[in-house]
Structure 1
Amino acid sequence: MHRARLVSATVAAALCLLLPGRASAADIDDFNDINNVENAGFESGLSDWTCSAGSGTAVSSPTHSGTGALRATPAGQDNARCAQTVAVRPNSTYTLSAWVRGGYAYLGATGTGTTDVSTWTPDSSSWKQVSTTFTTGASTASVTIYTHGWYGQAAYYADDVSVYGPDGGGGGDPEPTVPGTPGGLTVSGATSSSVSLAWNAVSGATVYNIYRSGTKVTAVTGTSATVTGLAASTSYSFQVTATNAAGESGKSATVTGRTTSSSGGGTGLPKHAVTGYWQNFNNGATVQRISDVPSAYDIIAVAFADATSTPGAVTFTLDSAGLGGYTVDQFKADVRAKQAAGKKVIVSVGGERGTVSVNDPTSATNFANSVYALMQAYGFDGVDIDLENGLNATYMTQALRSLAAKAGPSLILTMAPQTIDMQSTSNTYFQTALQVKDILTVVNMQYYNSGSMLGCDGKVYSQGSVDFLTALACIQLEGGLSPSQVGLGVPASTRGAGSGYVSPSVVNAALDCLTKGTGCGSFRPARTYPELRGAMTWSTNWDAAAGSAWSNAVGAHVRGLP
């Protein structure tokens, strides 16, 4: 970090007397570090910078601070190198740093006259600082600093580049001043364990500190944050400050946020819930309208939203012809009627053949914007993530948080990973679930079409048994998810999946084993989880084709859980 120019004229004069060869007070700048980079924050576009093959552009979002940042995109054999020649002094040490995000990002300096340096970081969905130092040679008057990405990787962003050290005489950006106090602090949402906050941006701020009851609890680079780990039905006070290299602002006005009750959170769901997928197509199961779905289902997941030609974006088209002439207006009216009856209707993204890919900041933004647009157009309460062909934890987390910021605390967010996706917390699906835990409603893992899997005790269990359901659920329950975020996903009939069907009585036994410690097989969990959310089935249509045997039995049983 640089040293501020705090030397007074008196001290300067004194030093001139003490140090031979110092002719004037102006020379005291030799002892003060400055940022020698010009247009360090890209507030003036790409002025003073040169990017290879036209790879760079100045953007207004996302930025680390101020109103500008660099976005550079590697293409083909070009690594998106953006460089500036900076004036320096010989025989001097400098600290080179930059804030980066997005794809792989490299930072370095050449022409130092000694040892050229570089550093790098892998892709990141949030801003992170990279830094290195170099020493100039005896005759070095300038160095070239640069950023670049990596071949075939996503675009990277850079902001607030600095070369701190003795003034090289080439100018440079002025040193920062302490930012102003943030204004507009509001509570934007709450769950049973978290409160979400938002505030106005402050010019020159690089980081915002969030205080709960006077104690700093987290820091973020954006203008919103979610404070987690709170008690249900409890009021908390919050303040925010803005910081940069010069220091921290005063604290904002205080706001009070109150968490919701623990049963159902802020979503309006019952403590225990049943989820059913509704098929927007005819594959031999009973064709239904939303109004035909039995009342036993608390969450109805409309399958599926489809990928578009825009990376990350999704759309939904009602299969009116396949559903016997079901019109969009009738569909929307049925959704509203279910919601009036206390049910939630969400749109599911993915499925076995889904090709939605969220793997960079742009596609994450497209995903969030398009899902929110569907929520507004059709009245959906939220989204279900059912991506069976890979998931990027970093950017899906970014997308879901962006969606939550738009939709507010009533958002219903569910997931339906395959069993292999939840075998370990190191798996990307599991990582995503944990990273959005504060806004996550339920994970209904698919306990079918998987074959044998490991339980939390390290033993192998075959699908189609009570042990398979309980021992695999235990991995999620002990791996960081709250019991209220875990549901058992099973087929509604033997035709609903290729393998893994179990009778409703087996599902109910597994629910009892996990919540009450009764009905267990050979596997018995070390403790019970009375807050367990419930169960899910594929699908309401296959359930109807089997005379609603699944929803009649499991739905009633879920209602009676502790």
Structure 2
Amino acid sequence: MPRTERTRPSRHRRVFTASLAALAAVVLGAAGVQATAAPASAAALADVNVAKNAGYESGLSNWTCSGASGASVSSPVHSGTSALKATPTASDHAKCSQTVAVRPGATYRLSAYVQGSYAYLGVSGTGTTDVSTWTPGSTGWQQLGTSFTTGPGTTSVTVYTHGWYGQAAYLADDLSVFGPDGGGGTDPGPETPSAPAGLTAGAVTSSSVALSWNAAAGATGYTVYRDGAKVQAVSGTSATVTGLTAATGYRFQVSATNAAGESARSAEITATTSPAGGNPGPSVPKHAVTGYWQNFNNGATVQKISDVPGQYDIIAVAFADATTTPGAVTFNLDSAGLGGYTVDRFKADIKAKQAAGKSVIISVGGEKGTVSVNDAASANNFANSLYSLMQEYGFNGVDIDLENGLNPTYMTQALRSLSQKAGSGLVITMAPQTIDMQSTSGGYFRTALNIKDILTVVNMQYYNSGSMLGCDGKVYSQGTVDFLTALACIQLEGGLDPSQVGLGLPASTRGAGSGYVSPGVVNAALDCLTRGTGCGSFKPAKTYPGLRGAMTWSTNWDAASGNAWSNAVGPHVHGLP
């Protein structure tokens, strides 16, 4: 924020062929002629999947995608831990292909699971009739399938998936080219996975502990152990163990499983449930408005926390200050710049807002923030210092607004540590720049996905960015409904829950260098995403009624414009389906 402005070939032929071979051997033997064993025919071999890396568990190994359009993603997947996500553009349909070895004159069943709009599956170079199949769209996994027969001289074919020009990204997983082995073999069967790493305790209540861990290659499921006993089996990389006793320490481990068996258990961690009867603080409403409150005077209206209008559900105090200790932050109220606003009054105002059902959190970063969390020590300092501020001032949580990048490994570690200390009432918000949320491989996006089980909302800044790509691969200019909806689509289809996506906009033309849109445009974008109405040229393939809401920089600039932004956007957000 600116401080300033599958039909298998018939098996009957196999029996007939084998019978003839046996009869010939008998006749030759009776005539006193020595019979030489003939090599096994292709038809006598078991059918296999001749595609390699068919589930994209090894990234894009064996696959080639046009225009660098493909990527291996960890969510959503049909099975295993990875799937293909390929994004078409206006001039490229995101074709991802693989050449596989086949037998001449053999029949193969081609199939794959796909998700998304205009997803195609096909084969070329068969030497007979090349075939393909497609679906106009699906929001869940759908199996496509067709068959082909190779020509008398065909020893390899090219199988492929692709989307369609200018459409949204498609997903593919578990592709199969099932038939006789053409000499290339198939992927080896699964091996027992290695023990999961990174087991961490997250949100803790008086009766539960949330756990998460890193995915183990080849795993199809995980088993959770409490104090050495198996308590839960899950398919993902997180679980909440319930039915625990308040104020009690527990030991946890997790193992990975697949068809080959179960791995060794992970390193053991301990976690202690919170005392009974605690107060987690106000809960964030289904649809919420977030506003940043300025702890400085830059020409906007100077406010006390008590001055912030009731339309705001989350008030982010901007900003915490870095200290000389790596990763640690503190907070210094600018009493002089805020007209003598005292610390005692500030704390009392926070309590009053919380009593009214609002959450007040401390924001870290901003345009000039220089807090670095890039190793285990700084992650620990970050969590400890934030928890101290929460205890001192009564903050409900933290906002991450670091505009110079972040390390997803250690920021994840820090936020999970904070969550373990603060409990289930912790509010965590983020305010990344647009460029930070263009790809799930980015640090901000990876951090958000890493802490999805404890993340409240990501309010990306749709301003100060220039033109950006939408989820359909088209370029959109800031300041339009399309810019808001097509970019939000990236987050919504990239793994975040709709409740974790908010639209961040300036409250006035003075609140940002560029990207201001009127409250009417904000509301139109909210309607487009949640109801499918009010869209521009881009219309999402589905609606997201659970969308969290909107955010603005700042409550002070809003006040300077007569609270026009919150008066228009606030009621609209609270009236969403």
Do Structure 1 and Structure 2 share a fold, with TM-score over 0.5? yes
Cα distance in 2, alignment partners of residues 447 and 304 from structure 1: 20
Which of 503, 509, 530 is equivalent to 2:545? 530
Once the two structures are TM-superposed, the CA of residue 237 in structure 1 deviates from its matched residue by: 8.6
1:367 to 382, 404, 421: 382
CA drift of 1:380 comes to: 0.3
Asked if the contact 1:466/1:510 (under 8 Å) is kept, the reply is yes
Hey, what does 1:273 align to over in structure 2?
Answer: 288
Counterpart for residue 443 of structure 1:
458
Q: Which runs of 4+ in 1 moved over 2 A?
A: 185-191, 207-219, 235-244, 246-249
Q: Is 1:414 the equivalent of 2:429?
A: yes
Q: Counterparts of 2:230 and 2:286 in 1: how far apart (Å)?
A: 30
Q: 1:350 aligns with which of 365, 378, 395?
A: 365
TM-score, normalised via structure 1 length = 0.57
Q: Which residue in the other structure is 1:189 paired with? A: 205
2:311 alignment counterpart = 296
> Per-residue displacement from partner, 1:147-179 (whole Å, max 9, x unpaired)?
xxxxxxxxxxxxxxxxxxxxxxxxxxxxxxxxx
Listed as ranges, the matches of 1:112-261 within 5 Å are 188-189=204-205, 196=210, 209-210=224-225, 214-217=231-234, 227=239
Deviation at 1:267, TM superposition (A): 5.9
8 Å contact kept, 2:203–2:420? no
Letter in 2 for 1:423: Q
CA distance in 2, matches of 1:503, 1:353: 27
C-alpha separation between the residues in 2 aligned to 1:349 and 1:325? 23
> Do the aligned residues in 2 keep the contact of 1:417 with 1:446 (CA within 8 Å)?
yes
Offset, 1:538: 0.1
Q: Secondary structure at the match of 1:550?
A: helix
Q: Distance in 1 between matches of 2:371 and 2:441?
A: 22
Equivalent position SS for 2:369: coil
Q: Secondary structure at 1:495's aligned position in 2?
A: helix
Inter-CA distance 282–336: structure 2 relative to 1 (3 Å threshold) = same
Secondary structure class of the residue paired with 1:438? coil
> Could you tell me how far 1:216 is from its partner in structure 2?
3.7
Deviations 1:194-243 (A, max 9, x none): 95269xxxxxxxx9943798444499xxxxx9516x9xxxx779996669
**Structure 2 CA distance, aligned partners of 1:543 and 1:487?**
18
**Residue identity in the other structure for 1:395:** Y
Distance across 1 between alignment mates of 2:517 and 2:492? 21
- Residue 51 of structure 2 corresponds to none
The reply to whether residue 498 of structure 1 matches residue 513 of structure 2 is yes
Contact 2:223 2:234 in 1 (8 A): no
Alignment partner of 1:484 out of 484, 499, 502: 499
What is the aligned counterpart of 1:313 among 304, 328, 332? 328
Structure 2 residues without counterparts, runs of 5 or longer:
1-200, 213-221, 256-262, 275-279
Give the Cα separation in 2 of the matches to 1:288 and 1:187: 33
Write the distance in 2 (CA, Å) between the matches of 1:337 and 1:463. Answer: 37
Partner of 2:348: 333
8 A Cα contact 1:455 1:474, kept in partner: yes
* Contact 1:280–1:323 under 8 Å retained in 2: yes
Q: Note closer, same or farther for the CA distance 1:190–1:485 as it changes in structure 2 (3 Å cut).
A: farther
In 2, the alpha carbon distance for the partners of 1:550 and 1:242 equals 49
Aligned match for 2:445, one of 410, 413, 430: 430
CA distance in 2, matches of 1:190, 1:427: 35
Deviation at 1:188, TM superposition (A): 2.4
2:558 is aligned to 543
Q: Distance in 2 between matches of 1:515 and 1:186?
A: 30
Q: Deviations over 1:240-296 (max 9, x none)?
A: 66699x9889x9xxx999xxxxxxx99611110000000000000000000000000
Aligned residues: CA RMSD:
3.5
Partner of 2:445, secondary structure, is helix
1:467 aligns to what SS in structure 2?
helix
TM-superposed deviation, 1:386:
0.0
Distance 1:427 1:319, change over 3 A: same
Q: Structure 1 CA distance, aligned partners of 2:571 and 2:254?
A: 54
Q: 1:361 to 1:505 in 2, by over 3 A?
A: same
TM-score w.r.t. structure 2 length? 0.56
Alpha-carbon shift at residue 399 of structure 1 (Å): 0.4
**Counterpart residue identity of residue 415, structure 2:** L
Give the conservation status (yes or no) of the 8 Å contact 2:282–2:357: no
1:520 to 535, 538, 547: 535
Q: 1:326 to 1:426 in 2, by over 3 A?
A: same
Question: Any idea what the Cα deviations from partners look like across 1:15-51, whole Å, max 9, x if unmatched?
Answer: xxxxxxxxxxxxxxxxxxxxxxxxxxxxxxxxxxxxx
Specify the code of the residue in structure 1 equivalent to 2:573.
V
Structure 1 residue 434 displacement after superposition: 0.3
> Displacement of 1:189 after TM fit?
3.0
Taking the aligned partners of 1:474 and 1:465, their CA distance within structure 2 comes to: 15
Which 5+ residue runs of structure 1 have no aligned equivalent?
1-184, 199-206, 220-224, 258-264
- C-alpha spacing 1:546/1:395, structure 2 compared with 1 (3 Å): same
Q: Structure with the greater relative contact order (CA < 8 A, sep ≥ 6): 1 or 2?
A: 2
Cα 1:243–1:527 shift into 2, 3 Å: closer
For the Cα contact (< 8 Å) 1:218–1:227, is it kept in 2? no
- Per-residue displacement from partner, 1:435-472 (whole Å, max 9, x unpaired)? 01111000000000000000000000000000000000
For 1:459 and 1:247, the matched residues in 2 are separated by 46
Question: Which of the residues 513, 519, 525 maps onto 1:510?
Answer: 525
